[in-house]
């Protein structure tokens, strides 16, 4: 998995981009509830399978409320807060946790420690 493109376009262009480029995952991180909600709505119904939304769980509900959508009406899995519990505090570690969760979801994997040294 790699990042091919960082889009800084109006939300309306996201659906066409996602479908034409065979995009299956996205990270939404504008730090604006209205912009994030527009992106969440724009990719609904596309081939996207996983969308990571930065911020705490209450923010996810604010974003969904802004476009009057429920998680049940989404065509993809919305991860909010996004990422695995890795104990990361810096941006690089948070990005790694989000990409790890995304990879596990897309591959239908458990994201558990292979060696067993990390306890649940």
The CATH number fitting domain 11-106, selected from 3.40.50.720, 3.40.50.1110, 3.30.530.20, 1.20.120.1200: 3.40.50.720
pTM for this structure? Answer: 0.87
The pLDDT score that the predictor gives to residue 7 is: 75
**DSSP alpha helices (H): ranges in 10-107?**
14-20, 33-43, 57-66, 91-106
Which residue is listed with tokens 């990042």?
3
Question: Which band of pLDDT confidence, cut at 50, 70 and 90, is reported for residue 2?
Answer: low
Q: Is 102:111 a contact under the CB 8 Å cutoff?
A: no
Q: Is the pLDDT of residue 3 over 80?
A: no
d(CA 106, CA 32): 27
């Amino acid at each position: 998995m790699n990042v091919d493109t960082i889009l800084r376009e109006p939300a309306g262009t996201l659906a066409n981009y996602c479908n034409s480029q065979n995009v299956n995952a996205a990270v939404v991180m504008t730090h604006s509830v209205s912009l994030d909600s527009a992106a969440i709505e724009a990719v609904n119904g596309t081939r996207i399978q996983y969308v990571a939304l930065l911020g705490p769980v209450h923010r996810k509900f604010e974003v969904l409320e802004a476009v009057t959508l429920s998680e049940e009406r989404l065509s993809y899995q919305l991860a909010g807060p996004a990422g695995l519990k890795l104990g990361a505090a810096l941006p690089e570690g948070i990005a790694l946790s989000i990409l790890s969760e995304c990879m596990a979801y897309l591959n239908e994997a458990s994201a558990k420690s292979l060696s067993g040294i990390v306890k649940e």
